[in-house]
Structure 1
Amino acid sequence: MGLDLRICPACGDRADRPVVAGAVVTCAKCGHEWPFRKLPLFALTGPSGAGKSTMGPLLADRFGGDVVVLDQDILWIRALHDDTAEFRAIWLRMAAMLHQNGRPVVLCGTVAPPEFEPLPERAFFSDIHYLALVGSPSSLRARLRARPAWREWDEQRIDEMLEFNDWLRKSAPELGVDLFDTTDVTREATADHVEKWIRARLP
């Protein structure tokens, strides 16, 4: 059996829209059924500058292999810039593949439920839990302005990110997103909160 849950281990057909019932995948072509590990995915989201990337190594150290912590920007290559839906789908397929090793994935990156929930790959997860790190506009602006030049944070990009920060704050309740404001919180205290949030939702 392969790790790519879209590919039937019996006939080799690849499904663009997987047929999933519970923790069983059914091949639409040959009817073969096979079980898979259906685990929760943890999306640590929020605007740039709120502390997501900083949390990555801290969480990886704290969980010691109990979960896999990934930064989604590692696959944000130029070929995917114009197809964000495919970018999100690739990450869901990657996380589902890693879940077959028995360890849940914590994905750190700017994402919102409307970008994950409609995708066919959403069926591979028991839940997707969203925690957004947010900050005050002034703190985020200062952090983004201080970033190295190669990251290309001009004022227009910063304004767009502050709009996303504001939208997340207002929309979180209806989206089912938990919020944590990092404006005046240390890295360690933020990691404490995120770790506790994840552990409370582990299977």
Structure 2
Amino acid sequence: MGLDLRICPACGELAERPVVTGAVVACAKCGHEWPFRKLPLFALTGPSGAGKSTMGPLLAERFGGDVVVLDQDVLWIDALRDAVTSFRSVWLRMAAMLHQNGRPVVLCGTVAPPEFEPLPERAFFSDIHYLALVGSPASLRARLRARPVWREWDEERIDEMLEFNDWLRKSAPALGVDVFDTTDVSRVETADHVERWIRARLPR
């Protein structure tokens, strides 16, 4: 069995839209079926400045190998910036590959359910759980203004991120996204909350 679940291990056909029933993939060309590990994906989302990247190292230390914690920005490269849908698909394929090692993935990055749920690769996960870290507009603006110059956070880009923060707060209940406000909360308290949230949803 290969790690890329889109590729049939029998005939080598690449499926752009995998045929998945439960935890079994079927090849549309030759009919071969093979099982895979279908685990939940944890999406730690929210606007920039709310604390997602800060959580990555803290969670990796706390979970000690029970889950794999990744930052989606590591693949935010020129080849994918102009193709956001492909960027999301690549991450889902990567997470599904890692799941074949038996460890769920926690993906830290700005994403919302409408960007993951319609993708063909969504079929590789039992669930995608979303937790959004948000903040007050004033706190987010201050944090983003304080970032290094190379991050290129001008006022226009900050305003766009604040709009996303506001949209996420309002839309979260309808989208099935849990929300945690980090405005007046320490890093440790935030990590405590995120850890509890993940552990409560890990497969038994």
User: Which residue in 2 is equivalent to 1:6?
Assistant: 6
1:62-115: per-residue Cα shift (whole Å, max 9, x none)? 000000000000000011111100000000000000000000000000000000
User: Which residue in 1 is equivalent to 2:169?
Assistant: 169
1:39-84: per-residue Cα shift (whole Å, max 9, x none)? 0000000000000000000000000000000000000001111110
Spell out the pairing of 1:103-182 with structure 2 (5 A cutoff).
103-182=103-182
Structure 1 Cα separation of the partners of residues 93 and 80 of structure 2: 15
Runs of 4+ residues over 2 Å off in structure 1: none
Output the amino acid matched with 2:5.
L
1:105-148: per-residue Cα shift (whole Å, max 9, x none)? 00000000000000000000000000000000000000000000
1:157-186: per-residue Cα shift (whole Å, max 9, x none)? 000000000000000000000000000000
* Number of matched pairs: 203
* RMSD of Structure 2 on Structure 1 (CA): 0.2
Secondary structure of the residue aligned to 2:161 is helix
Q: Return 5+ residue gaps in structure 2 as ranges.
A: none
Output the amino acid matched with 1:101.
N
Give me the TM-score of the superposition, normalised by structure 1: 1.00
Q: Is the aligned partner of 1:33 residue 2:21?
A: no
User: Which residue in 2 is equivalent to 1:52?
Assistant: 52
Q: Is the aligned partner of 1:83 residue 2:83?
A: yes
1:2-53: per-residue Cα shift (whole Å, max 9, x none)? 1000000000000000000000000000000000000000000000000000
Output the amino acid matched with 1:145.
R
Give me the TM-score of the superposition, normalised by structure 2: 0.99
Output the amino acid matched with 2:150.
W
Output the amino acid matched with 1:98.
L
Structure 2 Cα separation of the partners of residues 160 and 79 of structure 1: 23
Secondary structure of the residue aligned to 2:38 is coil
Structure 2 Cα separation of the partners of residues 138 and 187 of structure 1: 18
